[in-house]
Amino acid sequence: MIKIPTHILLVDDEKDFVEMLALRLNETGEKVTPAYDGQMGLDILKRENIDVVILDIKMPGMDGIQVLREIKSLYPLVEVILLTGHGSAETAVEGMKLGAFDYLLKPADADELTAKLQGAREKKEAQEERIRKAEVRLLLRKGGNI
Ligand SMILES: [Mg+2]
């Protein structure tokens, strides 16, 4: 079966880390768009069809939690996986209460990342499928009233 790539937006202010992780994800067949700060990430979300955002919490300017709030208010179906150091795991849990799918401790273990990405994508697809079915039901009901 042909794998449909997950379109991932990777937002982190550490360029080396972004490049390394993007390379790794590309090798596993995913499509990655990099961003180096929160605003850049939000601009990309505006014009590209992103499935999952991998989002660093500690960034200069807009931090990851602020970016997460924006994403969840503008694109509620986009799933977010937070990236954090050991020092800010509590912030990551707060982020999950704001709608993040999960979080990962840096430097992001490959297997753990793969599993969480898959979980995030499945959650998004299941929700989109429920919405499609609800829309069909709505159309059928409207049709019945004609
Ligand atoms: Mg950072």
Q: DSSP of 5-61, one letter per residue?
A: PPEEEEE-S-HHHHHHHHHHHHHTT-EEEEESSHHHHHHHHHHS--SEEEEES--SS
Domain assignment present for 134 = no
Q: How many alpha carbons fall within 13 Å on the CB side of residue 84?
A: 22
Domain assignment present for 51 = yes
- Any bridge partners for residue 80, and if so which? 53
Q: How many alpha carbons fall within 13 Å on the CB side of residue 141?
A: 6
Residues near ligand 1 ion, CB 5 Å cutoff: 13, 56, 58-59
66 or 143, which is more confident: 66
Q: Residue 9 Cα, ligand 1 centroid: separation in angstroms?
A: 15
Which residue, among 19, 60, 24, 22, has the nearest Cα to 40 in the 3D structure?
A: 60
- Name the pLDDT band for 145 (thresholds 50, 70, 90): low
Mean pLDDT of 41-55: 98
Domain assignment present for 34 = yes
pLDDT tens profile 73-101 = 999 999 999 999 888 889 999 999 999 99
Domain assignment present for 62 = yes
Share of the chain above pLDDT 90, in %: 88
Domain assignment present for 108 = yes
Q: Residue 60 Cα, ligand 1 centroid: separation in angstroms?
A: 7
Domain assignment present for 114 = yes
**What's the CATH number where 72 sits?**
3.40.50.2300
Q: Residue 143 Cα, ligand 1 centroid: separation in angstroms?
A: 52
Helices (runs of H) and strands (runs of E) counted in the chain: 5, 5
Q: Residue 57 Cα, ligand 1 centroid: separation in angstroms?
A: 6
Q: Residue 121 Cα, ligand 1 centroid: separation in angstroms?
A: 24
Domain assignment present for 58 = yes
At which residue do the structure tokens 């990430």 appear?
Answer: 41
Say how many C-beta atoms besides its own lie within 10 A of residue 113's C-beta.
19
Domain count across the chain:
1
Its domain, for residue 18, covers 7-121
Domain assignment present for 38 = yes
The Cα 92–Cα 88 span in angstroms is 7
Residues in the chain, total? 146
